[in-house]
Structure 1
Amino acid sequence: MVDRAVSPADVAVTPKISSMRKLMQRKSTIAFLMTLPLILIIGILVVYPAFYAMHLATLNKAMTKFVGFGNFLFLFKRETFWMVVEQSCIFAISAVIFKALIGFFVAHFVHAIPAKGQRKWRGMLLVPWVIPPAMSTLAWFWLFDPSYSALNWLLERMGFEAIAWLGDYGWARFCVILVNIWYGAPFFMIMYLAALKSVPEQLYEAAEIDGANWWQRLWYVTLPMMRNIIAITVMFSLIVTFANFDIVRVLTAGGPIDKTHVFATWSFLLGIQGGDIPLGAAVSLFMLPILGVAAIFILRDVNKRGNES
């Protein structure tokens, strides 16, 4: 039996096959291939609309002429626009701060409960986050309703005057922020609870042996171990809160006198209800630099701590 001579082509193909096999065995390559369908879906549903919104923001109202930054310059001259910027920042920052604080303390409360009872408490505390925001906001709207408000009924029975919850812009801002806190705090709670469970008990035992009290254990053990989770959760919640639409839309629709509008609701008012889609797109795009700056600072701090550790 005569052996077949090895050709130069076979010698060239063999290294290619082995290198391809090694490439397919790498975990990063397998992970990329498994997430490729999701990346494509995100590209179609998120990236393309984002670039299309940028294109729309450079057109005139009839969408027939390129105006460049004309829509943005027009917005900068409107007092209502700067009021919306101020309200959006107050709404997002205050809501995220209170959600983070409430979620942090509630997570510690649940973490201290014995393991058998934690499942029940986690389920109950997650209910506000699980219910669709529009549906739960309708219940809050009934509580704040000027004619049938359950809160005003309680206040009157206690001898206080009724409050125009949604009629006064100060109280309306308070109501919008309160509902957002009620809806978003469980998300912080479940994220912080997962972070607390990942903190080694040996660290607490060592701190207790060194004579640290509960505050020192919280400050020197718990917070350093949770800082990355806190930063990422705050960044994610800040993005979602800035883009919030349904709570403001259902409760106040931006009123009274546009005092509770945020970027999403005012963009909807101008673009969909007002018929000026390019101007509405310009309003929505103004969130990008604000959120971009916040994300850069937060992620830079996370990467810095990661490199130090």
Structure 2
Amino acid sequence: MTSRMLGIGFLSPAIISVCIFFLLPVLLTVVFAFTNMSTSTGIMGGDYRINTEQLRSLPDLDVSEATVERLETAGFQITEAGLTALADQFSKDTAEELREDYLGETFESRRDLERVLKDLDEPIRRTRDRKEAADLFAVTLIGERFGTEEEFRAALGTTGIDAVDHDVLTEFAYTGWTWTTDNFSLLMELPSTLRYAANTAFYVVATLTFNILFGLFLAISTFYLPGRLANTFRAIWFLPRILPPVLYVLMWNWFTWDNGFIATVMGWFGVPAKNWMMHTSTHAWTAIVLINGFVGASLGMILFSSAIKAIPTSMLYASEVDGANRWQQVRYIILPQMRWPILFMTSYQTLSLLTSFEYILLATDGGPGRSTEVWALAAFHTALNNYGGNLQYGFGAAYALVLVFIGIALSVAYLRFFNFKELLSKPRIEQ
């Protein structure tokens, strides 16, 4: 029992890290995906208010015309708050007279109240002043902010709005987030959804193919070089992996932009200067595949090189005695024994590319014209950096949640298709 508790104690930092950095973000993504959270709603709840612009949408709801008219043409009521403001801005005697004769009385129109203000013993003589004084007693919900649902419903009753419309108006006026499944319905309806999915599929397949093939080429070619020279080449090709992404993409920008290396060299031959990365979508995709490809290929090179070195040298010596050349060694000895490393790199790189977007963000930001916008980048733009200014946390989380389910499905498919259970089983000699 003591040893078990000790083992749990040693594992607790790892368990806590997994919960905080993996399980909690996934759980929050699931929660946010079923809400309409955005910059306008906030994440801590909201209040209740109806502004002038929202009035235009009321006829589309199941609200009576009388309610809409009541909101648009608010009444007027003589209240202590209005009298205090009247005394401060105009005349205390006028306010006192109005209090004695009309406190609590309501008027349906501004004109009726202005007539009263004109006929007082201490009247407000100027027409403009009477209009401003009348506004001090306006009873309206428009532009007012109510912190709770109870306060808003009470204001609806005070304004004289039909109780039948209270529920609809309360839901309409709420500015906070609510639970909803509309995010997924919107994903199915938007034309951009299919484009982002196609972009992601192309990005993953093209970059993965480059990663595996070029990584294998580097590993095999450096295997046959002298040791010191091979290590030098591996170190050079590993640079894209260890360079900070910003610096690495900045180097590509210097290489491809209209004032960069390619444009300068091509200018010597009379070719007009242009941005070779962003000139067309084909240029952009070529740059993206190469940028991400060299990063992935460097990791593949290290893994494949280690796997090749694990092959018994006696097999290679025996093949040379039998007259095998380099290509025959690669085809019949090296590649057959690279099955598991290739399968691992395929599965790892697929899942990594499916959710990665930082190099695309830094290089093209999804351009030109959203032609290189992949699914993960669309989730980032929607939730954290969109062009409209209203960050849609819930909708962006819905994008991300789709990737979570795709990643889980691909993981299960890889485990079954590549038979990783066989890889983890004991050698037959030990069974």
Could you say which TM-score interval applies, normalised by the shorter chain?
0.7 to 0.9
Helix, strand or coil at the partner of 2:35: coil
Deviates more, 1:156-165 or 1:129-138: 156-165
Q: 1: CA distance between counterparts of 2:9 and 2:316?
A: 41
Helix, strand or coil at the partner of 1:175: helix
Deviations 1:220-262 (A, max 9, x none): 3222322111111222122222222221111111112211111
User: Aligned pair 1:191/2:308, yes or no?
Assistant: no
**Cα distance 1:51–1:72, how it changes in 2: closer, same or farther (>3 A)?**
same
CA contact (8 A) 1:199 1:222 kept: yes
Give the alignment of 1:57-96 within 5 angstroms. Answer: 57-61=33-37, 62=41, 64-68=177-181, 70-96=182-208
What is the letter of the counterpart of residue 288 of structure 1? V
More helix, by proportion: 1
The percentage of counterpart residues that share the same residue type is 24
What is the letter of the counterpart of residue 293 of structure 1? A
What is the letter of the counterpart of residue 292 of structure 2? N
User: Aligned pair 1:276/2:392, yes or no?
Assistant: yes
What is the letter of the counterpart of residue 403 of structure 2? M
Deviates more, 1:297-306 or 1:268-277: 297-306
Q: 2: CA distance between counterparts of 1:122 and 1:234?
A: 21
What is the CA-CA distance between 1:65 and the residue it aligns to? Answer: 1.2
Q: 1: CA distance between counterparts of 2:404 and 2:357?
A: 16
Corresponding residue of 2:209: 97
Corresponding residue of 2:66: none
What is the CA-CA distance between 1:277 and the residue it aligns to? Answer: 0.6
What is the letter of the counterpart of residue 66 of structure 1? W
CA contact (8 A) 1:134 1:246 kept: no
Give the alignment of 1:239-278 within 5 angstroms. Answer: 239-274=351-386, 275-278=391-394
Q: Which contiguous aligned blocks of 4+ residues in structure 1 show a shift greater than 6 angstroms?
A: none
**Cα distance 1:216–1:120, how it changes in 2: closer, same or farther (>3 A)?**
closer
Q: 2: CA distance between counterparts of 1:257 and 1:186?
A: 31
Q: 2:264 is matched with which residue: 138, 153, 178?
A: 153
What is the letter of the counterpart of residue 291 of structure 1? G
Corresponding residue of 2:244: 132
Helix, strand or coil at the partner of 2:369: coil
Corresponding residue of 1:54: 30
Q: 2: CA distance between counterparts of 1:294 and 1:198?
A: 29
Count the aligned residue pairs.
283
**TM-score normalized with structure 2 length:** 0.60
Structure 2 spans left out of the alignment, 5+ residues? 44-176
Corresponding residue of 2:410: 294
What is the letter of the counterpart of residue 266 of structure 2? L
What is the CA-CA distance between 1:95 and the residue it aligns to? Answer: 0.5
CA contact (8 A) 2:208 2:349 kept: yes
Deviations 1:84-119 (A, max 9, x none): 111111111111111111110111122112223333
Q: 1: CA distance between counterparts of 2:335 and 2:235?
A: 25
Deviates more, 1:176-185 or 1:153-162: 153-162
What is the letter of the counterpart of residue 40 of structure 1? I
- Measured on the aligned residues, the alpha-carbon RMSD in Å equals 2.5
User: Aligned pair 1:119/2:235, yes or no?
Assistant: no
Select the structure of larger CA radius of gyration: 2
User: Aligned pair 1:285/2:397, yes or no?
Assistant: no
Q: 1: CA distance between counterparts of 2:189 and 2:268?
A: 48
What is the CA-CA distance between 1:154 and the residue it aligns to? Answer: 1.9
CA contact (8 A) 2:257 2:274 kept: no
CA contact (8 A) 1:94 1:177 kept: yes
Helix, strand or coil at the partner of 1:286: helix
Give the alignment of 1:176-187 within 5 angstroms. Answer: 176-187=288-299
Helix, strand or coil at the partner of 1:268: helix
Q: 2: CA distance between counterparts of 1:291 and 1:138?
A: 30
CA contact (8 A) 1:84 1:263 kept: yes
Q: 2:256 is matched with which residue: 144, 147, 153?
A: 144
**Cα distance 1:176–1:52, how it changes in 2: closer, same or farther (>3 A)?**
same
Q: 1: CA distance between counterparts of 2:408 and 2:305?
A: 28
**TM-score normalized with structure 1 length:** 0.82
CA contact (8 A) 1:57 1:281 kept: yes
Deviates more, 1:93-102 or 1:199-208: 199-208
Q: 2: CA distance between counterparts of 1:214 and 1:119?
A: 20
Corresponding residue of 1:6: none
Structure 1 spans left out of the alignment, 5+ residues? 1-15
